[in-house]
Structure 1
Amino acid sequence: MADVHILRKHALGLLAIRKIAFRWAELAEAEYGMRCVYQEGRATDELFFTGAGVQGHLVATRSKLEIKVELGILLRAFKSSIEQEMVKNIDALLPAKLSK
């Protein structure tokens, strides 16, 4: 079970959401030192990311963007703050009408 789960439905299509997901991966690497592996697919893109005490999975499709994160035991105490920051970052990349 994921410690953090973020789901955003959209009507942007796969190419547009792919750009957003890829940008999120770049930010995760640059700002949080995450190691990201991005895999493009015909109908679904997947991003696997890991960092100090964090591992997660992002799925981007024509109609949804979903992020699931598992936190290490030390980071679970900061779950609320981490989730708020992730929500803020992903919503900043999405068009305003899609956020939340």
Structure 2
Amino acid sequence: MTGTLQMSEQVLSIVTLICLIGIAVSVLLLLYRIIVGPTNPDRATALDALGINLMAIAAIMAIRLVTTKLNDVILLIGILLFIGTLAIAKYIEKGVIIDRDDD
């Protein structure tokens, strides 16, 4: 039984390491798209995807560290990502984030 447990821990360690490497490559490609992106919607999409990758990194680190304390961090990143995406979408659509009524 202990042999199976040790083997599953090794497999989990290898798989999470491969996932972290894949996410790191994805983050580098997204940073390139954010900097070079031809249009603002492309940059906004890349920023949104970068936030999702940050959530994935926090989740994989929680698995590697065998803790549930990073769940709050994942939720916080998700909430801030949603608010940021709405603000960027409104700015791209109207040119301003906060509408002022100057009547």
TM-based fold match above 0.5:
no
More contact order relative to length (CA 8 Å, sep ≥ 6)? 1
* Structure with a larger share of its residues in helix: 2
Larger radius of gyration: 2
Question: With structure 2 as the length reference, what TM-score do the two structures score?
Answer: 0.30
